[in-house]
Amino acid sequence: MIPKESVPSLRAMAATMAQQAPISADLLTMLTDDLENDGPAARMLADHPDAAAPLYYLRALAGVRLLILTGRAPELEAHLAGVVSHRGDPAYAEHTRDLFRRTLFSHPDEIRSAMDRPIQQHQPGRAGYLLRGLGMLAAPKVRLLEIGACAGLNLILDHYRWCGPDWEWGAPSSAVRLATSGPHPGDIEIVHRAGCDIAPRDAADPDDAAILRSFLPVELEADRLELDNAIELAAFLRVRVDKADAVEWLRAELSRPAEADTYTVVWHSLFWLYLDPGDRSAIEGIMAAAARHMRLARICYEPHAWGAVPQLQVIAYS
Ligand SMILES: C[S@@+](CC[C@H](N)C(=O)[O-])C[C@H]1O[C@@H](n2cnc3c(N)ncnc32)[C@H](O)[C@@H]1O
């Protein structure tokens, strides 16, 4: 069963997406209306062990997008080539809904596989908040640990070129050039980096790369180029992302001491709300215990509720 309680969070997400990705927001609204009315999509998607997972319906949107990206929905793909020029056109939106429904219902196996995958909207620009947080810590040497790291695109932030208001930071000749704000972060050396994810994506694997692309709304073409460059870089660097749940992984990582001159930084973004309250407090307990014997900080970029604007938080334990 898909609980009706998920309706407000889906509507909040659709409202947040509406400005930048109006057609994707409209499709999410259509699915949410269907859920409220026990419509055909709800009946198709309800029988799944993750049906009560947060924002479960977003997986269906990514599933259809993956069909487009892999050439299995040519009519919808050709139609969506006009998504920018038809912004605000109600007839275009109606036709999109129609083609989307037809694609969804004609690929039940592929959509079923999509419903098995967690939401993995993963963008390298988010690491700009990590960089800002690292700058606030003013720690020259960092051991960086990320929970919910997906393909590790945030873990390789020092391999990107960051362009601030009057400064640049990072790898000078990087193909990934990203705008950011705030003061110059200072000198930071990442001496160790690792992440975990319940479903890590290997940037070097074309199927995994397509899954990452499928979570980006069709309207965000510029972000897509950024994502492609970051995926290519991550495939080359082969950063370590372990297949593990955050709680036990973090407990094990923080049981290993860091060098005395190194700050251990635990980072996460757009991840916290997917955890249940027990896991959240377990992670907070693990961090508090570890802070007794190492220099430790937590940097996070998270919304307080679905659809809310994420906020950067830097917690220096020591
Ligand atoms: C929306 S993505 C965000 C990825 C990345 N943090 C970013 O900001 O680009 C959330 C990620 O958290 C992972 N995830 C969800 N629950 C998890 C858990 N209990 N332990 C580890 N990873 C988890 C998902 O698989 C997914 O890759």
| pLDDT per residue as tens digits for the range 223-277 | 999 999 999 999 999 999 999 999 999 999 999 999 999 999 999 999 999 999 9
Ligand 1 centre and the CA of 148: distance in Å?
3
**pLDDT tens-digit series, residues 9-52:** 999 999 999 999 999 999 999 999 999 999 999 999 989 999 99
Burial of 54 (0-12, 13-18, 19+ CB in 10 A): middle
Ligand 1 nearest-atom number relative to CA 279: 19
* Residues 42 and 35 sit within 8 Å (Cβ to Cβ): yes
CA-nearest residue for atom 2, ligand 1, is: 120
Q: Which segments within 174-310 are labelled E, that is strand?
A: 177-179, 189-197, 241-243, 263-269, 296-302
Regarding the beta carbon of 306 and ligand 1, being less than 6 Å apart is answered no
Give, in order, the Cα–Cα distances in Å from 9 to each of 28, 44, 300.
Answer: 11, 20, 21
| Whether the predicted pLDDT of 1 surpasses 70 | no
| Whether the predicted pLDDT of 199 surpasses 80 | yes
Count of C-beta atoms within a 10 Å radius of residue 117: 17
Ligand 1 centre and the CA of 98: distance in Å?
31
| Residue 312's pLDDT band (cuts 50, 70, 90) | very high
Regarding the beta carbon of 208 and ligand 1, being less than 6 Å apart is answered no
Regarding the beta carbon of 118 and ligand 1, being less than 6 Å apart is answered yes
Could you tell me what percent of the chain has a pLDDT over 70?
Answer: 99
Ligand 1 centre and the CA of 88: distance in Å?
33
Which parts of 107-220 fold into alpha helices (H)?
A: 108-116, 127-137, 206-214
| Whether the predicted pLDDT of 156 surpasses 90 | yes
| Whether the predicted pLDDT of 5 surpasses 90 | no
Ligand 1 nearest-atom number relative to CA 146: 6
Paired with 168 in beta bridges are: 163
| Whether the predicted pLDDT of 3 surpasses 80 | no
Ligand 1 centre and the CA of 271: distance in Å?
5
Of 56, 119, 271, the one to substitute when testing ligand 1's pocket (max ligand atoms within 8 A of C-beta) is 271
Regarding the beta carbon of 150 and ligand 1, being less than 6 Å apart is answered yes
Mean pLDDT of 266-291: 98
